[in-house]
Structure 1
């Protein structure tokens, strides 16, 4: 479908007969904010960089890029928040592994690994490349690594299509659930901050962290007596500006470029507001008229039908 300034492709809960998709888990890891409430209140400036090893231990981090390490920590935190993973990773999931999919969003994720491999190829030969680096040069490494480490054997997808990437990832997760492909999805949005990313951004820094959600069909959530934290409302994507329909959370400038993590951070902030008792709709918006596209998603309070 071709979009114009007045024509937006929309997928809403009304277009998913019998299926309501809800948020049952949320996690945030940023300098200055490590809870959804802290995010909703506004991350403090000057926070210390996130240390993935402090959240998931050092095992398995050595040969992984920064984005994948952050992804591990966010995945564990969101799964635990949703009641799907115990304090010890060795205990495994509390639901069948095939019932949990993964959709990850990142536009800068493994650029440092790709750049390093290309530099080696240009300056030396293919034999000079590291056998530990090359597997990490695949664009889906964040999604696949999270699935492998935590045994998430449902559908697996990596989204890296610019400013709308984070909300698009949530939409694809909801689509998978509505289509009956899986009961729940871990949705991850993460961006690292490093020299390669800053060069791409003309000196601007990235958030060096992100957010993760667990979204489920309302039926699946009810079957395991999970607490609903928010309800996914109407989503749209297209050209032009977005009509404002609810309260918005916007990242403070000191956090840096959120890019593929932006949509997930906005939804996590909405969960923080709902957890604190607010009940008005919250609208997540990514992209502007100056970008290839813009997207928006309305988040509704847990009691919404």
Structure 2
């Protein structure tokens, strides 16, 4: 079960491959079951009820009738999927957790449809054949990795041979026993990088799971500022140029770009404590307002404030 600290860490990291947020129980309970089905067909995950679009903990109230209806909806996933549904109090507010591990009997289907996790979103497939093709093309199903339900670890393993293998592979007994909860490692890595004042790592979830760590470095790219120009002066120029009133978040985004042209969208979201989608919407408005642009590619580019320092 997740603790209060686990939930705070996950909400700071935002939605992703292993986490989905809902501000309340949706009118169509099938929406919850679709997300859980997708997690089971991927690497598992958690769905948190009581978290708004800006990653704020607002709490959710679920009575026994609604609780029973949610459980009935989850039971419609086929084959049967064990899930945990429970409540955790965080800062005086109730956050409801639906937790599921990666399923052992993939693929799982809901009302005849199959759902899989693609990055931070869930995707619907329509046939079992498509699901099997998806897993095979993603290098996630191998014949020799299929679980053997009849295997008994205590009785069927040759401990002498296993010990010989462990020594040859140079694996410590402690390392073998390290099994962490799904999703918690990603959150802890992000938190550790933030504490070290380093850029957040990138997590690639398509195909082979990959983590990219980035150095903390300064770049020669210009963000649109010049030496001797402070942020207040730049902010006044941007507000005068803007065709509409700039929101508080938009100004914060522009200020972050002013200080670092290579700031990333995840870093912006973390700083402002809102979702990456909300950041992207603000950036789109700033681009339409001709205040901000992106140079080069999104992977290796940088931001530039559109202001005329000579005028």
Judge same fold: TM > 0.5, yes or no. Answer: no
Instruction: Report the structure number with the largest CA radius of gyration.
Output: 2
Bin for the TM-score computed over the shorter chain: under 0.3
Normalising by the residue count of structure 2, what TM-score does the alignment of the two structures yield?
0.26
TM-score by length of 1: 0.27
Structure possessing the higher relative contact order (Cα contacts under 8 Å, 6 or more residues apart): 1
